[in-house]
Chains A and B, each alone.
Chain A
Amino acid sequence: MANKLETIDVNLHYGDFHALKGISLAIPDHSVTALIGPSGCGKSTYLRLFNRMNDLIPNTKITGQVLMDGEDIYKIKSSKIDHLRRTVGMVFQKPNPFPKSIFENVAYGLRVNGISDNSFIENQVEKTLRQAVLWEEVKDKLKKSAFELSGGQQQRLCIARALAIEPTVILMDEPASALDPISTGKIEDLIFELKNQYTIIIVTHNMQQAGRVSDYTGFFYLGNLIEFDKTKKIFTSPSKRETENYITGRFG
């Protein structure tokens, strides 16, 4: 399987803080990769490399290469960053719908990218809401504010919103950590569905979740990538002592 994303010896500094220490990792196409590790280990920072979200934080210095389809995304012109972000969808830890209607939330990504064909937008909204298994619940109240939905529904709306612009990669930063078990289950089912079409990276604190949804797992600790392998291997016979300690709950 070809590698969709790859980092080669990436170092990242926030001011004096060395957040990522020489991370080299290749992520295969059409797979789900889980990033695990204790809080502050750098896994979210690593995730945010791929849509250049770390750029928003002042005093950030990045060295090394971050490749997407073989192209270094930190060498593109700054005017192309918007375009990069279009091809990389992101779902955040807490549901964060915009203060707009359900319909407009999903349509937002299309509108800001210059699409004004209303029938296309309508089709796309319905399609992605169906993909996110939310359509049946919201089809009669598309004009209502997105804030009227429950937390789990809001998170699926955010996933639909990310899907609407047809990215090839979806980054998920602890997408279910703020949700109840039933909503979490729905999100996990959804990730399973989406795997066929997208390359997904998911940051999670939940070991069972990582085990359930992912094909590959990377364990981060103190800014280092300790181990990266097939999920089955990581959870049954990790090759590093730290990994074993972490997944068996001895620290973290």
Chain B
Amino acid sequence: MRIRRFTEPVFESLIKICGYSSGFVVLLIIVFLFKEGISFFGSSPVEEGFTMYVHASNPVKDLSAAQIKDVFDQKITNWKALGGADQPIERFSLDELGEAFTEEQLGKDFEFLPKCIDSYMDSLPGSLAFFPSAQTDGKVKSAVPIKIDKITVGKFLSDTEWFPTSRPAARMGVMPLLLGTLLVSFFAIIIALPLGLAAAVYLAEIADERVRKFLKPVIELLAGIPSVVYGFFGLVVIVPLVQSTFNLPVGETALAGSIVLAIMALPTIITVSEDALRTTPRAMKEASLALGASQWQTIRKVVVPYASSGITAAAILGIGRAIGETMAALMVTGNSAIMPPTLLQPVRTIPATIAAELGEAPFGGLHFQALFALGCLLFIITLIISLLVERVSAKRIN
């Protein structure tokens, strides 16, 4: 008795501590994610430590990241297209300087570099140059730094190109990734929902008890298979199948991703909706049968409507699983940020992008922050989905 009086408060406080600390950890992760993600917005898309210059006489004073990329991809070759005078654009960076000047002219420790740049820029009124800020800031008279549009939330969401490592200015438009994610998930659910619902109805209403006792654990086991195994299965089975069926150059497509994610979402959909179907009171099914309804009519008109909120919850949980899935999507979707994404082309999903690029993004750099911003976006999407699940499950008929 005395020991109990002593141990009970101890256990109580231990449990309290566990609860508080896990809640704190969750908050910490969210704060960390958004802190990194938000600092991405408002920064310049130009590589850190570099500045872009134009000739002092050039009327063009600001450019967007997209325009800079087009110039360096040689899609735009005349200032006229950018609202300037009719003269060709001379792209110009340290590499070209090495060809125009000898090592002596540049100096042993590049001490004459600013002067060389200055004279070179002076001779090229149509130049768009790209130099380390430390070497050029305030030292080049013939050129002025050009204003580059900062990255904003709107641009991040609406830009249709994802080239996070392109130089001199990165383009970080989340649109192809977001659409890719939604496309893959949407078709995954289109495939998985009818199959899952049919399987759930079979298990809950038609299968006899022995079959059910065997199948239910097997289906639940499916949920426990690591996603990399699903990815591997997809790569070996689904991808070649898609390739040969549609006669495609590559099988790693959005469709292959949808199929694999559908298989992965199936156990969730089946178990959750089967549980919902089984909550239909027996008396309600009997009432339907007693009125002369067939078993199929009873399922369609009574059992499924009664379980509809549970089935909706199952579908939303399935979508959540598909949207957040990383490894399998990375392995079978082909990872190419094509705009607009289509079913029979490679696509790139948000989680796959984070997983694939985080390793090569310099810590703390712009690319790194952009991936965190992607993480924030994914977090917001899944948050909305969980809130929806809660709303739908709370709306049960009583």
Contact = CB atoms under 8 A, between A and B. Distances in A.
Contacts of B398: 147
Given A82-B294, A108-B301, A109-B292, A99 B287 contact: no
Nearest to A100: B305
B277 to A, nearest CB: 13
Contact of B397 (A56, A93, A147, A161): A147
A18 B292 CA distance: 28
Interface string A199-233: 00000000000000000000000000000000000
Contacts of A92: 283, 286-287
A112 B294 contact: yes
A47 B292 CA distance: 17
A82 B293 contact: yes
A36 to B, nearest CB: 21
Interface of B: 208-209, 281, 283-284, 286-294, 297, 301-302, 305-306, 397-398
A83 B294 CA distance: 10
A165 B291 CA distance: 7
A162 interface: yes
| Of listed B283, B288, B291, B398, residue having the most chain A CB within 10 A | B291
B305 A88 contact: no
A96 B290 contact: no
Contacts of B209: 58
Given A58-B208, A93-B283, A108-B301, A98 B289 contact: no
A56 B397 CA distance: 26
Contact of A83 (B289, B290, B292): B292
Interface string A110-132: 01110000000000000000000
Contacts of A56: 286, 289
Interface string A82-102: 110110111011101011100
Nearest to B289: A85
A247 B288 CA distance: 34
Contact of A99 (B293, B297, B305): B305
B291 A108 contact: yes
| Of listed B208, B293, B398, residue having the most chain A CB within 10 A | B293
A96 B285 CA distance: 9
A82 B292 contact: yes
| Of listed B284, B290, B301, B398, residue having the most chain A CB within 10 A | B290
A243 interface: no
Interface of A: 51, 53, 56, 58, 82-83, 85-86, 88-90, 92-94, 96, 98-100, 108-109, 111-113, 145, 147, 158, 161-162, 165
A83 B283 CA distance: 20
Given A96-B281, A96-B284, 12 more contacts: A53-B286, A53-B289, A86-B291, A86-B292, A89-B291, A90-B290, A92-B287, A98-B306, A99-B302, A100-B305, A112-B293, A145-B397
Contacts of A58: 208-209
Given A58-B208, A99-B397, A85 B292 contact: yes
Nearest to A147: B397
Contacts of A99: 302, 305-306, 397
B290 A88 contact: yes
Contacts of B288: 98, 108, 112
Nearest to A79: B294
Contact of B302 (A85, A86, A98, A165): A98
29 contacts: A53-B286, A53-B290, A56-B289, A82-B293, A85-B289, A85-B290, A85-B291, A85-B292, A92-B287, A94-B283, A96-B283, A96-B287, A98-B284, A98-B302, A98-B306, A99-B306, A100-B305, A108-B291, A108-B301, A109-B291, A111-B301, A112-B294, A112-B297, A113-B291, A113-B293, A147-B397, A161-B291, A165-B291, A165-B292
